[in-house]
Chain A
Amino acid sequence: MRDENQLHAAVVELVAMDDAQIKYSTVQNWYPGDAAGRGGIYNFVTKRGICKGARSKISWTQVETGSAITWKYPSCVLLGEDSVGEFYSVAVTTNRQQADTGTKMIHIGKNSRSTIVSKGISAGRSNNTYRGLVRILGQAGGARNHTQCDSLLIGDQCGAHTVPYIESRNPTAKVEHEATTSKIGDDQLFYCRQRGLSEEDAVNLIVNGFCKEVLKELPMEFAVEAQKLLAVSLEGSVG
């Protein structure tokens, strides 16, 4: 039973009318399969939202640590004027996990704004991909997007990938995308250990710092769980 794969294929749709706000937070920790990649959940989820009303807001926050394979792109159609879409994501993959996740922000309404913050952490022999689309339509005057995608690699057998699509048809819109890839610095680890932290605690602290922008978007009790989950997920990936 544990050697087999199970499928989770949920659909979530959100609609926000005038001045309404929706915050949808997920902490996903399905069975990821064993170290050799046997078993685990296929987590193929459709999540989409529409900001129909003026000044409406949809905020997706996710912490993805489980599942053998995750494909998930929570999206926002920003139809209303001054509507706001947000996507905050932490995805951790270890062993042979694969996570391919990101968002779509479709700007239609005037002065619509979106923020994307994605933090990917890959360890073991896993692969972690951010894949996202920001599309600004011709009528979306004054639209704004800011995207930050950061990847952290732990070990030399994993992969980190960033695949953003940016399409803009309005000269008054402003889109900014930044992405970085790095590993935990030896000097950072030594600094923490000189202050008395064990190597594992130092890694947890640095990883939590790396994810902070996303974790602070979670409700308090979720955030505490999420931090513990990060620590458990990365146990044994260093050294």
Chain B
Amino acid sequence: MLEISGLTATIDGKQILNGIDLIVPTGEVHAIMGPNGSGKSTLSYVLSGREGYEVTGGTAQFDGKDLLAMTPEQRAATGLFLAFQYPVELPGVNNANFLRVALNAQRRARGESELDAIQFLKLARAETKRLSMPDDMLKRNVNVGFSGGEKKRNEVLQMAILRPRLAILDETDSGLDIDALKIVADGVNALRGPAFSALVITHYQRLLDHIVPDRVHVLAGGRIIRSGGPELAQELEANGYAGMVAEAA
């Protein structure tokens, strides 16, 4: 379970998060929607531990553990996965090798046994196939020369192989065509179950047609101004953010 309480954060002294309260129970998928500049990406970076974001108040716990006290890699080993809005290129670093090093580092941190090259490759190929992705995805260098859609699919492939317990998808739908959108949604839906939760951050409702959330939260001005069921997303799509933001202000 992810529990965020009174979370405030700044970038270069500028307040971006103004007191976030949010609970995502284990097994649930929640969506966070909001206009540009509402703090959506900041929330995902603060939860995953990126430098340059200063937490000035509040708490964030995952299964009772204080996320904010951990390094980024410790959070990853705890089961937190961030699907980046802009996945980073790593020239010369082979995707399969990268994932094996990452998976084994996480397993080691959790006291589990490491996978050897053959075990890993079997797992990686199976996931690639299940997601209908080409085999060479694993052989290529991490995100180097990938199209925008390929980068997002690679994030989903990484998620499938690393098997997180909490996935944060930061505008993973931006710049995707409908086919790619479906692949991303299938990837998330396949992981859904009693031990998996997800925070789907998006600007538009269309991703939520494919990943139906248990709850929808509206983020504006660095705080959650409304929460509701999936119908809230429909309402936003029909009426836009402006009215709701004005009402909350």
* Given A197-B73, A211-B92, CB of A186 within 8 Å of CB of B106: no
Let me know if A196 and B141 touch, CB within 8 A: no
The one of A191, A198, A209, A213 that contacts B105, using a Cβ cutoff of 8 Å: A198
- In the assembly, what is the distance between CA of A208 and CA of B141, in Å? 12
What does DSSP make chain A's interface, helix, strand, loop or mixed? helix
Q: How far does the Cβ of B224 sit from chain A's closest Cβ, in whole Å?
A: 24
Q: Contacts of B162 on A, CB cut-off 8 Å?
A: 195-196
- Is B90 interfacial (CB-CB < 8 Å)? yes
B103 in contact with A192 (CB, 8 Å):
no
What bracket does the count of chain B residues touching chain A fall in? 20 to 34
Chain B residues, CB < 8 A from A192:
90, 98, 102
- Residues in A with CB closer than 8 Å to B77 are 196
Given A196-B73, A197-B73, A205 contacting B90 (CB threshold 8 A): yes
Is B71 a contact of A212 with CB atoms below 8 Å? no
| Chain B residues with CB under 8 A of A206 | 90, 93
Asked if B91 lies at the interface with its beta carbon under 8 angstroms from chain A, I say: yes
Query: Contacts of A213 on B, CB cut-off 8 Å?
Result: 92
B88 close to A (CB within 8 Å): yes
Cβ-Cβ contact count across A and B, 8 Å cutoff: 76
Q: Mark A186-204, 1 if CB is under 8 A from B, else 0.
A: 1110111111111101000
Task: Mark out the residues of chain B between 40 and 97 whose CB falls within 8 Å of any chain A CB in the assembled complex.
Answer: 48-52, 71-73, 75-77, 81-82, 84, 87-93
Residues of A within 8 A of B105 (CB): 196-198, 201
Interface bracket on A = 20 to 34
* Beta-carbon contact of A186 and B51 below 8 Å: yes
Q: Give the docked Cα–Cα distance between A193 and B105 (Å).
A: 10
Q: Does B128 interact with chain A (Cβ within 8 Å)?
A: no
Say whether, besides A196-B77, A197-B101, A190 and B92 are in contact (CB < 8 Å).
no
Chain A residues positioned under 8 Å from B52 (CB to CB): 186
Do B98 and A195 touch across chains, with their CB atoms under 8 A apart? yes
Q: Kindly state whether residue B109 has any CB partner on chain A within 8 Å.
A: yes
A191 near B141 with CB under 8 A, answer: no
Q: Which residues of B contact A197 (CB under 8 A)?
A: 73, 101-102, 105
Contacts of A210 in B (CB 8 A): 91-92
With both beta carbons as reference points, the residue of chain A lying nearest to B73 in the complex is identified as A193
Contact for B93 among A190, A194, A209, CB less than 8 A = A209
C-alpha spacing A187/B90, complex, angstroms: 10
Q: In the bound complex, do residue B158 and residue A195 qualify as a contact, i.e. CB atoms below 8 Å apart?
A: yes
Q: Which residue of A lies closest to B108 (CB)?
A: A196
B residues in contact with A188, CB < 8 Å: 88-90
> CA separation between A197 and B107, bound complex, in Å?
11
CB-based contact B92/A191 at 8 Å: no
A209 touches B90 (CB 8 A): yes
Known: A194-B48, A195-B98. A212 touches B73 (CB 8 A): no
Interface string of B27-45 (1 = CB under 8 A from A): 0000000000000000000
Q: Is the CB of B82 within 8 A of A196?
A: no
A210 to B81, CA, bound (A): 26
B129 to chain A, nearest CB (A): 22
For the complex, give the distance between the alpha carbons of A193 and B73 in Å. Answer: 5
Q: Which of B76, B84, B98 contacts A205 (CB 8 A)?
A: B98
Residues of B within 8 A of A (CB): 48-52, 71-73, 75-77, 81-82, 84, 87-93, 98-99, 101-103, 105-106, 109, 141, 158, 162
Can you report 15 A-B residue pairs in the complex whose CB atoms are below 8 A from each other?
A186-B51, A188-B89, A188-B90, A190-B50, A190-B51, A191-B88, A192-B98, A194-B75, A194-B81, A194-B82, A195-B162, A198-B105, A201-B105, A205-B93, A205-B101
6 smallest CB-CB distances across A and B, nearest first, come from: A209-B92, A212-B92, A209-B93, A193-B72, A196-B76, A195-B102
